[in-house]
Amino acid sequence: MVRIVQILLLCLQVQGDPAYPVLTQAFDALRVRDYDSAIVLFGKAAGIAPLRADIRKNLGYTLLKTGESEAAREQFGEAMRLDPADLHVALEYAFLCFEARDNAPARKAEARRIFLRVKDSGDAVAAQAFRNIDGPLATGTARWQMVLADSAPTFSAHYELAQLAEARDLLDLAAVNYTAAFRLTPERKSVLLELARVEKARGNPEGAMAALLAASRGGEPRAAELAREQMGDRYPYVYEFRAALALDPKNNALHRELAYLLLSMSEKDPALHDEAEREFKVIVDAAPDDYVAAAQLGLLYLSAQPELAMPILRNVLAHADAATANRVRMALKMPLVLENRVAPDSQVDPRTLGDRSYQAGFLKDAKRYFLIAREQNPVDASLALKLGWTNNMLHDDASALRWFDIARQSADPAISSEAARAYGNLRPGVELFRTTLWLYPMYSSRWGDVFGYGQVKTEVRVRWKNVHPYASVRFVGDARRSTGGVSPQSLSENAFIVGAGVGTSTWHGATAWFEAGEMFGYLHLTHYQDYRGGVSYARTIGASLGSERGGWFFETADDEVFVSHFQNDLMTYSQNKAGYMAELGGVRMQTFWSNNITVDVNHQYWANFVETGPGFRFRLPGMPQSMSVTLNAVRGAYLVNQGNPRGPNFNDFRAGVWYAFTK
């Protein structure tokens, strides 16, 4: 009887295990020592059941039999992550980390941490392994500290001490010595990659970003490539350039890029003009033959300090290339030396001239040179990408979109992905028709109801017009439909509103709009004319929910709205939030305090109130960028109480989901 029950349980287990057939084939291959087939089958089983640690462990042991120790290490590491209690797997992973061919300090540190954890459970093998690792590391660390205390500092001493300290998890000591080693030999940009790794392990993402940014500009090409891979696609902020320059103050490539970034930003913030000027001066002082930077510095000086500008500009005219010199001649209203085409046998090819002009900010010249280069090499997708960015900077988005479209067809994944992102970001702004959808379902405890709001709008986007006609369908509805009681009141319009109107382009956060339409009630099959319009203003200062960096923020959304359906009422809304944005475990969250006011000209009680209270707005990992969840608790007071059946004060808890989409 017991045997029958065991067989039945085994059958049920097999029936419920989707990976069982593949695992059976894998173990059959293992028995006949067909390791290659077993590796493929175990890998397939791991894909079917990715949360099973035993499959990863068997795959790791099979890889070891074929000598693939690095691949085995990855599998044992994944098995340990899935089942931290399996100390045997942890030891296998630790030994493979310690014996890794690259012998990196980070791997030694990981092995040491695992041996330390396992030895505390009483395992003698782990205890001996920990002593074998930690003893030499401790001795070496002490020895190099004595060397640095007794003699002049050298690159080798600081670097060796940093490596030993990192392997022993002395991360503060490692960071100090990697920094000291780099400053003694700043041409060794690869040291910055190691510093970035330590800063990340210390929980200092700003320090890691500074090291990666400094490594990515100038110096060793391989280090720069690895640094760019780790930095991701986001362009660095000004404060990140400052931090990188504090680490690597002689990095002219960093100074140059920051200078042009500040110069472009100074159009909106004139205070940055002086900062850009200082950066260009640093470049020129360090490299007097950098005539592109010298020309830019002279032109910045020209209006306010001509006595400083003219010697610099005369030097540029005497020694710079034709494109740079012509830029100076144009500023000084001198005759230009024009070259409509670059001869094929020219010593400087048009692509190089285009790059120089682009870096110098001479975008029209850059466009001309890039077009010549494209004519000479029409299959070079990188030139199409450069033309896309150049036209975008010149505010010719239609041409930019065409070049990005060409570049995104490239076989080079780096070019195609960058062009595809630019194309996707730019396309909605230049298409003739643009459709937007927004939805906001929300629950209100004050009314004990779930409300739904939404709109689909298609605009005709005429480039040279600041007013855009559109067609729109709005929805306003709720679940309860009325307040109940002796004199029930409708809680919402419960209608679709079909309309057509016009709206202005956004100007400093403000837009104006007006539409005429028909309201169709879906409960009582009624319809009537609807006219509405108004002015909207929205502004966020500080860290929005989409910001890369947390911090304080203030947000305001203000609307003046006319609605004919509410007895030709004119209502004013002002919703304000102040708080702090942070990212915790991949969840972006804003904690805020809200202060809101609503008033109208008809003095209806429901449209005149103030409210205040705390709230949270967050976006979970995997949610679209344009989606967020808001929870808000407020205490409110009506400003008009004539005809108010609900009392002068109210409490309300609201939970809503915002989602928007543009095509």
Residue 348 confidence class, pLDDT cut points 50, 70, 90: low
Q: What single DSSP character describes residue 340?
A: S
Run of H or E residues at 536: strand 527-542
Say yes or no: 442 and 552 in one domain. yes
The closest alpha carbon to 253, from 187, 185, 328, belongs to 187
Place of tokens 């049920």: 12
Tell which of 387, 405, 429 closes a domain.
429
**Sequence-separated (6 or more) residues with CB below 8 Å from residue 345:** none
Q: What percent of the chain has pLDDT over 70?
A: 89
Residues 474, 411, single domain; the answer is no
CA dist., res. 533 & res. 207, Å (int): 50
Tens digit of each residue's pLDDT (9 = 90 or more) over 262-321: 887 876 777 777 888 888 888 888 888 888 888 888 888 887 788 888 888 888 888 887
Question: What pLDDT sits at residue 317?
Answer: 85
Q: At 345, is the pLDDT very low, low, confident or very high (cuts 50, 70, 90)? A: very low
String of DSSP letters for 262-326? HHHHTTT-TTHHHHHHHHHHHHHHH-TT-HHHHHHHHHHHHTT-HHHHHHHHHHHHHHS-HHHHH
The predicted-structure confidence for 516-560, as pLDDT tens digits, reads as follows 988 888 766 677 788 899 999 988 888 777 766 778 989 999 999
User: Is 482 a residue whose pLDDT tops 50?
Assistant: no
- 513 vs 3: which has the higher pLDDT: 513
On whether both 332 and 454 belong to a single domain, the answer is: no
Q: CB of 427 within 8 A of CB of 642?
A: no
In three-state form (DSSP H/G/I as H, E/B as E, the rest C), the secondary structure along 28-57 is HHHHCCCHHHHHHHHHHHHHHCCCCHHHHH
CATH of the domain at 537: 2.40.128
Q: What is the pLDDT of residue 425?
A: 73
d(CA 392, CA 388): 6
Whether residue 254 has pLDDT greater than 50: yes
Which pLDDT belongs to residue 176? 94
Residue 421 belongs to domain with CATH number: 1.25.40.10
Task: Give 129 or 383, the one with higher predicted confidence.
Answer: 383
The residue count of the chain comes to 663
Beta carbons within 10 angstroms of residue 15's beta carbon: 9
SS3 618: strand
Q: What number is the average pLDDT over the span 564-590?
A: 88
- pLDDT for 559: 92
Number of domains in the chain: 2
Contact 194, 136 (CB under 8 A): no
SS3 404: helix
Give the pLDDT of residue 377.
74
Same domain for 409 and 438: no
Separation between Cα atoms, residue 49 and residue 290, nearest integer Å: 59
pLDDT digits (tens, 9 = 90+) for 9-28: 344 344 457 888 888 898 98
Choosing from 413, 429, 445, the residue where a domain stops is 429
Q: For 593, list phi and psi in degrees, rounded to 5.
A: -120, 130
Query: Do both 311 and 376 map to the same domain?
Result: yes
Place of tokens 């024009």: 338
For residues 298 and 447, state if they share a domain: no
How high is the pLDDT of residue 111? 80
For the entire predicted model, the pTM comes to: 0.47
Clarify whether residues 528 and 600 are in a common domain: yes
pLDDT at position 485, please? Answer: 37
For residues 488-501, average pLDDT: 72
CA separation (Å) from 513 to 176, 535, 558?
Answer: 58, 7, 14
- What do you get for the CA distance between the two ends of the chain, in Å? 66
Residues 6+ apart with CB under 8 A from 527: 518, 519, 520, 521
In terms of Cα–Cα distance, which of 361, 407, 367 is closest to 385? 407
Residues 387/354, Cβ–Cβ less than 8 Å: no
Mean pLDDT of all residues belonging to the chain = 82
129 pLDDT more than 50: yes
CA distance 282 to 296: 12
**pLDDT the model gives residue 9:** 38
Query: pLDDT per residue over 351-384, tens digit each?
Result: 888 888 777 667 788 888 888 887 777 778 888 8
Q: Is 587 helix (H, G, I), strand (E, B) or coil?
A: strand
Residues 298 and 439 in one domain: no
Task: Check: CB of residue 162 under 8 Å from CB of residue 140.
Answer: no
| Together in a domain, 437 and 530 | yes
pLDDT in tens, 200-240: 988 999 999 999 999 988 777 778 888 888 887 778 888 99
Share of the chain above pLDDT 90, in %: 20
More reliable by pLDDT, 219 or 169? 169
Residues 347 and 472 in one domain: no
Written as one letter, the residue type at 173 is L
Last residue in a domain, options 398, 429, 460: 429
Six token digits for residue 125 = 């093998």
Domain, as residue range, for 525: 433-662
What pLDDT is attached to residue 279? 86
Which residues fall within 8 angstroms of residue 534, CB to CB, at 6 or more apart? 512, 513, 514, 559, 560, 561, 562
Summarised one tens digit per residue, pLDDT across range 387-416 is: 988 888 787 877 888 888 888 888 788 888
> Is residue 633 in a domain?
yes
Indicate whether 30 pLDDT > 60.
Answer: yes
**CA atoms of 524 and 149, how far apart (whole Å):** 88
3-state secondary structure of 225: helix
For residue 512, the SS3 value is strand
Q: Is 224 in the same domain as 265?
A: yes
At 431, the pLDDT band (50, 70, 90 cuts) reads low
Pair 463, 538 in one domain: yes
